[in-house]
């Protein structure tokens, strides 16, 4: 069985360049792999305008197509994706659903549903699951040769941006969801859902923002100068050990063919990178400019 490891440091889907360092660190931290490895190249001259309601639409499409080409080059049985924003899941998950003739289930382990549409939200990292379900911008939907059905999807740890589920296209779909409280004690509700569907193959999307920011700080809202404001404003997420236990329990009973890990923002590493770049002998000690980071919560 061939497992492709895909490093996909895309940042334009959420307009957050720190996702690039986050993806590279994920790749460095993850256990070494024995199978093929590919890195999806970033668009070197991205157009950051909003086109058809989507920020940096052309660049995201270009990178999705590049990812598809790299996947087809290897025709793997399994894929591990290390991103990058959530949009990186489009090509690999579409490939896996087609490869296995729709005999798959997705566990969308994420604080957010990622089923927004361009009319409601301009950042594509919040659109990707809608596209995989056949909803949204037609060019992105065209990248999904076999759309997932709603009964193939289970949200795990969902607790934010729930209004996206009420957009006109989504209202007609029944998408099952479990909150952080539903998985806190044990994994029984996840396993029961899988048992009722009995898929031959399971695909796991893990957005690190599903984790409780009071425990895990390498996520967007845990930035140092935002943390005190947002730690009590945002719904409480899941613990690291809870997510490990759920995914281990799934892996013990089902064949996992895809794992994507996304939206890692290693704030301390970014601050240290900034510091090192401005010190004598190491960097440019005459440099006064500090990196700017977007605040999507304003």
What is the spatial distance between Cα 20 and Cα 118, in angstroms, rounded to a whole number?
A: 24
Is the separation of the CB atoms in 102 and 146 below 8 Å? Answer: yes
Distance of CA 231 to the CA centre of its chain: 21
Q: How much is the pLDDT for 281?
A: 96
Q: How much is the pLDDT for 95?
A: 98
What is the spatial distance between Cα 78 and Cα 196, in angstroms, rounded to a whole number?
A: 23
Tally of CB atoms within 10 A around 150: 12
Of 244, 295, 293, 281, the C-alpha closest to 22 is 293
What is the spatial distance between Cα 81 and Cα 40, in angstroms, rounded to a whole number?
A: 10
Q: What is the pLDDT of residues 238-296, one digit of tens each?
A: 999 999 999 999 999 999 999 999 999 999 999 999 999 999 999 999 888 888 777 66
Q: What is the pLDDT of residues 31-48, one digit of tens each?
A: 999 999 999 999 989 999
CA distances from 19 to 1, 36, 84 (A): 30, 23, 5
Of 35, 17, 18, 37, the C-alpha closest to 27 is 37
pLDDT at 118 exceeding the cut of 70: yes
Q: How much is the pLDDT for 292?
A: 77
Q: What is the pLDDT of residues 159-187, one digit of tens each?
A: 998 999 998 888 889 899 999 999 999 99
Q: What is the pLDDT of residues 56-97, one digit of tens each?
A: 999 999 999 999 999 999 999 999 999 999 999 999 999 999
| CATH code assigned to 3-276 | 3.40.800.10
Q: Is the peptide bond before 84 cis (omega within 30 degrees of 0)?
A: yes
Q: How much is the pLDDT for 148?
A: 98
Residue 91, H or E segment? helix 90-99
Average of pLDDT values for 125-141? 97
Distance of CA 21 to the CA centre of its chain: 15
Is the separation of the CB atoms in 1 and 77 below 8 Å? Answer: yes
**pTM given for the model:** 0.96
Q: Where are the alpha helices (DSSP H) in 14-56?
A: 18-29
What is the spatial distance between Cα 128 and Cα 86, in angstroms, rounded to a whole number?
A: 7
Is the separation of the CB atoms in 169 and 135 below 8 Å? Answer: yes
DSSP state of 56: T
What is the spatial distance between Cα 219 and Cα 199, in angstroms, rounded to a whole number?
A: 31
Angle at 116 between CA 114 and CA 117, to 5 degrees: 140
Q: How much is the pLDDT for 229?
A: 87
Q: How much is the pLDDT for 298?
A: 56
Q: What is the pLDDT of residues 141-153, one digit of tens each?
A: 999 999 999 999 9
Q: What is the pLDDT of residues 218-237, one digit of tens each?
A: 999 999 888 988 888 888 99
- Angle between helix 188-197 and helix 240-253 axes, rounded to 10 deg: 30
DSSP state of 277: T
Q: How much is the pLDDT for 297?
A: 62
CA distances from 49 to 88, 117, 128, 245, 251 (A): 19, 17, 19, 41, 41
Is the separation of the CB atoms in 176 and 155 below 8 Å? Answer: yes
Long-range contacts of 68-76 (CB under 8 A, 24+ apart): 68/94, 68/95, 68/143, 70/4, 70/6, 70/38, 70/40, 71/4, 71/6, 71/38, 71/95, 73/38, 74/2, 74/4, 74/36, 74/38, 75/2, 76/2, 76/3, 76/4, 76/35, 76/36
Q: Where are the domains of the chain?
A: 3-276
């Amino acid at each position: 069985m061939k497992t492709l490891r895909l490093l996909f440091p895309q940042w334009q889907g959420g307009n957050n360049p720190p996702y690039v360092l986050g993806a590279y660190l994920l790749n460095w931290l993850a256990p070494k792999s024995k199978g093929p490895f590919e890195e999806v190249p970033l668009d070197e001259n991205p157009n950051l305008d909003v086109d058809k309601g989507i920020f940096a639409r052309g660049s995201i499409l270009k990178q999705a197509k590049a990812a598809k080409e790299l996947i087809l080059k290897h025709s793997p049985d399994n894929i591990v994706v290390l991103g990058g924003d959530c949009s990186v899941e489009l090509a690999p998950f579409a490939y896996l659903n087609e490869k296995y003739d729709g005999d798959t289930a997705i566990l969308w382990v994420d604080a957010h549903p990622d089923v927004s549409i361009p009319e409601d939200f301009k950042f594509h990292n919040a659109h990707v699951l809608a596209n995989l379900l056949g909803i949204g911008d037609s060019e992105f939907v065209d990248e999904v040769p076999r759309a997932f059905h709603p009964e193939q999807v289970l949200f795990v740890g969902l607790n934010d941006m729930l209004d996206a589920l009420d957009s006109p296209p989504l209202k007609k779909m029944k998408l099952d969801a479990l909150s952080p409280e539903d998985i806190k004690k044990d994994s029984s509700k996840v396993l029961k859902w899988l048992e009722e569907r009995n898929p031959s193959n399971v695909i796991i999307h893990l957005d690190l923002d599903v984790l409780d920011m009071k425990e895990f700080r390498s996520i967007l809202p845990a930035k140092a100068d935002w943390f005190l404001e947002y730690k009590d404003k945002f719904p409480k997420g899941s613990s690291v050990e809870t997510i490990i236990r759920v995914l281990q329990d799934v892996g013990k009973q089902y064949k996992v063919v895809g794992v994507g890990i996304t939206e890692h923002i290693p704030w301390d590493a970014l601050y240290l990178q900034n510091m090192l770049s401005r010190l004598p002998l190491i960097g440019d000690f005459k440099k006064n400019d500090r990196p700017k980071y977007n605040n999507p919560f304003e």
